């Protein structure tokens, strides 16, 4: 069996006859890690648009950007999709999940799905990161990405280092999202890998209990780490996300 094609570039898939979905990747990642979701959504008649978040061409560029650069770009992409399609939903992994929740509090997408979303970090990180970023601004990723399947981990594209200034910016975004969770009322699916070492299970629980959505679903994926779409449970996740968004938007 041949190895899957690794394409880290942005994608724009599907006809859009049934609406559109904005697909957002994680910090230091690429659209590759949410492309399997895009492919499943496109198969349902949706347009799946997966942009590269600002700064992700290099760690040096990324380290200089505030979280508002990511959020502003997401707003622009969402508005552009809304100008052409209805309904428009949003799917996000990790940082992309935080951005999805921030957008859902203000822009009212038709439905959202978030995966491995780090709503908060352990308390010690709030003290350590602001200092550590001054001492060691670029931290190598020991052992690669947080993926259980070894072959998927080896081929996973993305930046080889984590800019700690970017982690600090993500933490600023966490506070914004925490404060606005109760403003989210759209249908929501929250998924989490059981072996996730990046975002804790308590984040999943806090998201589901904190939103005001009356239609919400929890998806626990027993065999995967943080980057679920390309891990063992990726096919199941893609099918469940496509089914959820199709059902909640009446398509």
Share of the chain above pLDDT 70, in %: 98
Question: Residue 218: phi, psi to the nearest 5?
Answer: -105, 135
Give pTM, 2 decimals: 0.96
**pLDDT class for 3, splitting at 50, 70, 90?**
low
- Beta-carbon contacts of 184 under 8 Å, excluding residues fewer than 6 positions away, are 101, 104, 105, 112, 211, 212, 213
Residue 142 has pLDDT above 60, yes or no: yes
Is 168 or 249 the better-scoring residue by pLDDT? 168
User: What mean pLDDT value characterizes the chain?
Assistant: 94
Per-domain residue ranges of the chain:
11-248
Asked whether residue 223 carries a pLDDT value surpassing 70, the answer given is yes
pLDDT tens digits for 104-140?
A: 999 989 999 999 999 999 887 888 888 888 888 898 8
- Provide the CATH number for the domain formed by 11-248 in this structure: 3.40.50.1820
Residue 38 has pLDDT above 90, yes or no: yes
- State residue 1's pLDDT score: 47
Reported as type and span, the H/E element at residue 138 is strand 138-140
């Amino acid at each position: 069996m041949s190895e899957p094609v690794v394409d880290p570039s942005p994608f724009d898939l599907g006809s859009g006859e049934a609406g559109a979905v904005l697909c957002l990747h994680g910090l230091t990642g690429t659209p590759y890690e949410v492309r399997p979701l895009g492919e499943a959504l496109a198969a349902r008649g949706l347009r799946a648009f997966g942009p590269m978040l600002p700064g992700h061409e290099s760690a040096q560029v990324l380290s200089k950007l505030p979280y508002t650069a990511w959020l502003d770009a997401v707003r622009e992409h969402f508005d552009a999709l809304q100008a052409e399609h209805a309904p428009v939903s949003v799917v996000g992994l990790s940082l992309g999940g935080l951005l999805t929740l921030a957008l859902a509090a203000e822009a009212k997408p038709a439905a959202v799905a978030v995966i491995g979303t780090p709503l908060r970090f352990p308390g010690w990180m709030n003290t350590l990161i602001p200092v550590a970023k001054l001492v060691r601004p670029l931290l190598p990723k020991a052992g690669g990405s947080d993926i259980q399947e070894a072959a998927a981990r080896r081929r996973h594209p993305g930046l080889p280092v984590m800019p700690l200034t970017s982690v600090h910016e993500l933490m600023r975004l966490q506070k914004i999202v925490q404060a606005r969770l109760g403003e989210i009322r759209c249908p929501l699916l929250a998924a989490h890998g059981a072996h996730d070492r990046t975002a804790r299970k308590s984040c999943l629980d806090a998201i589901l209990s904190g939103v005001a959505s009356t239609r919400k679903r929890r998806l626990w994926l027993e065999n995967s780490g943080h980057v679920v779409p390309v891990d063992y449970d990726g096919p199941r996740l893609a099918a469940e996300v496509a089914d959820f968004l199709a059902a909640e938007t009446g398509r």
